[in-house]
Amino acid sequence: MSEAASGSEPETTTGTPLGRGPAIRVLPRLDDANRFFWTSGAEGVLRFLRCERCRRYVHPPAPLCPYCEDGQGHLEPEAVSGRGRLHSFTVNYQQWIPDDGPYVVGLVTIDEQDDVRLMTNIVDCAESELTADMPVEVTFEAQEDVWLPLFRPAGGSRFRPPGGSR
């Protein structure tokens, strides 16, 4: 039984509010290799590079498929389901910068291929509900020209995120 009250905001196990991420989000510098990834959330989907020949997903972006022996497997961005598993997580309590409150750093593997991992924030989930291997689904947070893929418990959450998430 979770100690977080249904419908309220997610909390840590000590009852303090659990934020959606750090106080300031340091953003990626967009370039031709990573732009597809960081802007894909504008369409509400998560994309990874996928080899047109061996069909494996490759992350982070690479110039050519590292799995094709001849190094000639061509990679193209392809949408995935946005569903995955929480491989591991940590609730960060350290105030690395002023105004940082507790937030969850998650390491998510995507359902399509379990060696494709993303570091992310787990949102709309109380600390007491976090367990390794729990199913999660993507939700995006827009920051300037970047759509950050965050993840929340699959199948919806009891928590209503403040300000609305996409």
Partner 1 sequence: MTDFLERRAVISGIGQSKIGRRLGRSAVDLTVEAGLAAIADAGLTRHDIDGLATYPGGGMGGEAFAGPTSPEVQDAMRLKLNWHDGGGEGPGQIRAVFAACLAVAAGLARHVLVYRTVTESTAQGSGGRQGIGGAVSGGGRVPRFSGSFQWMLPFGAVSAANWLALVATRRMHEFGLRRDQLAWIALNGRANAARNPIAVYRDPMTLDDYLAVRMVTTPLCLYDCDAPCDGSTAVVVSHADYAPDAPNPACHVNAIGTALQGRPSWDQFDDMTTMAARDAAASMWKRADLRPSDVDTAQLYDGFSIITMVWLEELGFCAKGESGAFVEGGRAIALDGPLPLNTSGGQLSAGRLHGFGLLHEACVQLRGQGGERQIPRQPEVAVVANGGGPIAGSMLLTRGAG
State the CB neighbour count (10 A cutoff) for residue 134: 18
The single-letter DSSP state of residue 91 is E
Closer Cβ to partner 1, 30 or 45, answer by number: 30
24 binds partner 1 (CB under 8 A): yes
Residue 35's H or E segment, with its range, is: helix 35-39
Distance separating alpha carbons of residues 33 and 25, to the nearest angstrom = 21
Q: Which is nearest to 116 in space by CA: 141, 147, 91, 138?
A: 138
Contact letters for partner 1, residues 26-65 (x by CB under 8 A): xxxx-x--x------------------------xx-----
Q: How far is the CB of 73 from partner 1 (least distance, A)?
A: 17
**Residues contributing to the site for partner 1 (CB under 8 A):** 21-29, 31, 34, 59-60, 87-98, 100, 103, 105, 107, 115, 117-121, 127, 131-133, 143, 146, 148, 150
